[in-house]
Structure formats: C-alpha cells, structure tokens
Amino acid sequence: MKLPAYVRNCIALLESAGYPAYVVGGCVRDARLGLEPKDYDLCTAASPEEMERLFSQYPLVLCGKAHGTVGVVVEGDVLQITTFRAEGGYRDHRHPDWVRFVPRVEADLARRDFTVNAMAFSPTRGLIDPFGGRQDLERRILRAVGDPEQRFQEDPLRILRGVRFAAVYRLEPETASWAAMVRQAPLMDGLARERVFAELCGLLPWMEWGDLLRFQPILTAVIPELAPMVGFDQRSPYHAYDLYTHTAHVVASVPRDLPLRWAALLHDLGKVGCFTLDESGRGHFYGHASLGAEQAVQVLTRLKAPAALRRQVEILIRQHMTPLEADKTFLRRRLSRLGWDTLWNLTWLQEADTGSKGSAWDKTFFPRLRQLLQELRREQPCLRVTDLAVNGRDLMALGYQGKALGQCLNHLLEQVLSEALPNEKPALLAAAAARFQKGADLA
C-alpha cells in the first residue's frame, strides 16, 4: 500500500519513539480495492499525552483527546491519530460503557464493525488482518467482526453502515451477519434520527435497483412508510411491477443527486392511500401525487432532513404526474413557476418513472425536453417580474401605484410568457398605458 509522504512521516515519528503505528479502517479497505482513500486515519500505541508531546511542532486539534484521538494538522488537513483502544458493554445501544487504551493493534481492530474495515497497515509491519478482511474483500463479502448479533446490538447504526458498504463496494452480506442485521433492525428505532438520515444520504446515491430489493427489510425498518408498498399489486395494465419494485427501478434510474434520489424513493408513497378499483377491476390512484408529497414531508421531517431538501423533494413529488410538453412556450411558463433546477430534476424523475413501469414508452421525449431547456437557458428568457424590460418606477410614471402596480406587472409577465408581447420597453409601456386608461388593474 502506497502512503503519502506526510502519513509516512507521522508513522515514522511515532515508531522512532517506540510506539507501533498504522493506518487503519476505511483507507486500508479503499486502497486494497484500488480506490484513492478519502482520508487516512492512524492508530498507535502512544497515549494522547505522548502524541501531544511528539507532535508539539504541529498545530493540534484536541477536542477528541478524551476518546484517545489527537488531530495533527499537516498539509492543510487534519490527520486523526487514535490510541489503540478496546470497548465494552453498550447498554444504551449507542456508547460503550467503558473504553480502555490497550497496547496491541489486534485488540483495537476487534472493536471495529466489519472485517473489511478491521485491517491496519504499516510500512514496516505490513498488513494486520486478524479477521480475514482481505479475503472477504476479494470475495466481496460483508462480515461483522466477532458475534454479529452482539455487534449490531451494541450499535445498531452498524446495520445501516453495513448496507451502505454493501451497496457502495458491491458486497454481499454473509449469512449470519445478514440474519443478525434483520433481527436487530428494530433497535434502529432508538438511534438519533440525524444519524439515520446521514447514513441514508450516504447510501441512496449508490443504490442499484437490486439493492433496494435485497436490503428491503432494513430500509422498511427505518422508513416504515415504504412497507405497504412491498408486493403491492397496482392492478394496472401500465405497471408490470409491484409498487416497491417499481420504486426500486425509479431510484436507480435517476441521476445520483440527493433530492432526486429521495424524491424517487418516496414519490409513490401516496399510492397506497389513494388506491381505488373501478368496475372493470383496474386500479386508480387519483390524488396520489399531493398525498405522497405530504407523506414525504412527514418522513423527512421525522428524519430531521434540512428544510431545503424537504422543499425540493416535496415539489418534485407534487409535480411528478403533471404532464410536460416539448414546447418552449410551455416550458417557459413552467420555468417561471418552478425554476431551472426543479424543472430539470422533474424531467429526470418523470423519465425514470415512465421508464420503470415495464411497458413501452417514447425514449426520445425527455432528452428532447432537456435539449429545449438547455436552449432556453442560453436564451435567458424573461421568467419573473424582475426580468421585465419595465419596472415599478416606469409604471408609477404612468400613474400606477400600490396594488394596481403589482397587478399590472404580473399581467405584463403573463403576456411576455405567452409571447403575446415582446419583452421590450416601448411595447410593455404602451400595453401598461392602455390598461391604465381602461382601469383594468384598479378593479
């Protein structure tokens, strides 16, 4: 494993003082997979006080010192170095009852969640891999370190982390680990909602449709609203899949953008509550877009998602059934209401939704829409009152004031959006003056 010079130097400094030191965890896993590690975490036999002394030449971050972690600022980055430690008991399913510094790296690796995350490496001592993480990684196996039931009971967040590692690195959970993940899944109810949300955000962009199916018991444990969708027969000639399988395809078909992936996951939540059967035995879902938007907001509020994400997801779901037209005038009106980002994302959501029904559809339509949107973007069209070639002061000069002024500006925008008027000052002033004469805005 090749390490950057600053990491090697830090290890060498610790080793020269007699303390074994290693890179550990995610960076070893990523390097073995041939991926560029995001960051390097170090572990060592040195205590935090000894590290402070050894690295006294460097700026240090000491907020994690009580847990054994010292941050060394090198190359503009903070290198986290943690004293080997063992943990015991987890009565609150969140924090260890005790943490003890230990002299050997193997004891430190034993407290880690999965074998693929429980490897350490040093340039002088090589790979330390007491749990077979290297082989599991080569065979693409996700396996808990030690007794899986106990490890997920200790910290149920490991269940979601496991799903994330499996999806990101294309790993298959080993039988006993998977059984324990499913059995202990109800314990995730006790986790801080923000942590669950953060894991889901790390996971969603990586999900293939098969991941939503294989990890369904875990996903429905943290988002119970998805459970009624599993196996739900839509009784529709347009839908070849049950509601959950359809959703899985939609999630995997939209780009890896967070609001889009969340919207895709939750877009049909309302269908279960809106389901009706007509006399011919066909299913209908009138109003499911609005109901689904409300339910999605409830889910995201419970998960403490940021308000901005909640709003984006809500509007995408609310609009996901509204037909779009490949026509610039139509798109300008929609842009004026929704803005660029929302309308752009809506084309992806609708395309994925249409393409995930398992029936034939026109594959050229949505790319054509996006082409038109790109052309419109270059044209910088007038979309809002503030884009008009006249402003409030111009209208005041004609005699407008108060509410009538706002009404007239909105009217002019309507005229420009529908191309009844060009966005040019003389034409807009003439129209405004004519309306003023008629008293159209004073009613």
Contact residues: Mg ion, CB under 5 A: 26
Minimum distance between the CB of residue 166 and ligand ATP, rounded to whole angstroms?
13
- Which positions ≥6 away from 397 have C-beta within 8 Å? none
Question: Among Mg ion, ligand ATP, none, what binds residue 158 when CB lies within 5 to 8 Å by partner kind?
Answer: ligand ATP
Q: With contacts defined by CB under 6 A, how many residues of the chain interact with ligand ATP?
A: 11
Minimum distance between the CB of residue 58 and Mg ion, rounded to whole angstroms?
21
Minimum distance between the CB of residue 237 and ligand ATP, rounded to whole angstroms?
44
Q: Please check whether residue 164 is in contact with residue 202, taking contact to mean a CB–CB distance below 8 angstroms.
A: yes
Q: Please check whether residue 245 is in contact with residue 327, taking contact to mean a CB–CB distance below 8 angstroms.
A: no
111 vs 320, which CB is nearer to ligand ATP?
Answer: 111
Residue nearest to Mg ion (CB): 26
Pick the piece of the chain touching ligand ATP (CB under 6 A) from 3-11, 110-118, 185-193, 335-343. Answer: 110-118
Site string for ligand ATP, 12-31 (x = CB under 6 A): -------------xx-----
Question: Among ligand ATP, Mg ion, none, what binds residue 113 when CB lies within 5 to 8 Å by partner kind?
Answer: ligand ATP
Q: Which residue has the tokens 């960051």?
A: 39
Residue nearest to ligand ATP (CB): 26
- Which positions ≥6 away from 277 have C-beta within 8 Å? 235, 283, 284
**CA separation for the pair 239, 124 (Å, rounded):** 59
Q: Distances from the Cα of 302 to the Cαs of 169, 261, 296, 307, 406, in angstroms?
A: 29, 18, 10, 12, 39
Question: Among Mg ion, ligand ATP, none, what binds residue 2 when CB lies within 5 to 8 Å by partner kind?
Answer: none
Buried b (16+ CB within 10 A) or exposed e, 160-195: bbbbbbbbebebebbeebbebbbebbebbeebeeeb
Structure-block tokens of residue 404: 């009538």
Is 199 one of the binding residues for ligand ATP (CB under 6 A)? Answer: no
158 vs 357, which CB is nearer to ligand ATP?
Answer: 158
119 vs 346, which CB is nearer to ligand ATP?
Answer: 119
Is 69 one of the binding residues for ligand ATP (CB under 6 A)? Answer: no
Minimum distance between the CB of residue 4 and Mg ion, rounded to whole angstroms?
16
Minimum distance between the CB of residue 146 and ligand ATP, rounded to whole angstroms?
11
Is 41 one of the binding residues for ligand ATP (CB under 6 A)? Answer: yes
134 vs 284, which CB is nearer to ligand ATP?
Answer: 134
**CA 141, chain centre distance (Å):** 24
Is 112 one of the binding residues for ligand ATP (CB under 6 A)? Answer: yes
Question: Among Mg ion, ligand ATP, none, what binds residue 117 when CB lies within 5 to 8 Å by partner kind?
Answer: ligand ATP
Mode of pairing for the β-strands spanning 41-44 and 77-83: parallel
Supply φ then ψ for residue 69, to 5 degrees. -110, 130
Q: Please check whether residue 90 is in contact with residue 153, taking contact to mean a CB–CB distance below 8 angstroms.
A: yes
Is 117 one of the binding residues for ligand ATP (CB under 6 A)? Answer: yes
116 vs 223, which CB is nearer to ligand ATP?
Answer: 116
Minimum distance between the CB of residue 220 and ligand ATP, rounded to whole angstroms?
22
Is 268 one of the binding residues for ligand ATP (CB under 6 A)? Answer: no
For 86, how many CA atoms within 13 A lie in the half-sphere containing its CB?
Answer: 10
Minimum distance between the CB of residue 27 and Mg ion, rounded to whole angstroms?
7
Structure-block tokens of residue 233: 């027969």
Q: Please check whether residue 250 is in contact with residue 277, taking contact to mean a CB–CB distance below 8 angstroms.
A: no
Minimum distance between the CB of residue 168 and ligand ATP, rounded to whole angstroms?
8
Minimum distance between the CB of residue 30 and Mg ion, rounded to whole angstroms?
9
- Residue 60: CB atoms within 10 A of its CB come to 17
Pick the piece of the chain touching ligand ATP (CB under 6 A) from 13-21, 113-121, 300-308, 386-394. Answer: 113-121
Pick the piece of the chain touching ligand ATP (CB under 6 A) from 111-119, 260-268, 305-313, 356-364. Answer: 111-119
Site string for ligand ATP, 129-168 (x = CB under 6 A): --------------------------x-xx----------
Minimum distance between the CB of residue 419 and ligand ATP, rounded to whole angstroms?
51
Minimum distance between the CB of residue 199 and Mg ion, rounded to whole angstroms?
13
Question: Where along the sequence are the contacts to ligand ATP (CB under 6 A)?
Answer: 25-26, 38, 41, 112-113, 117-118, 155, 157-158
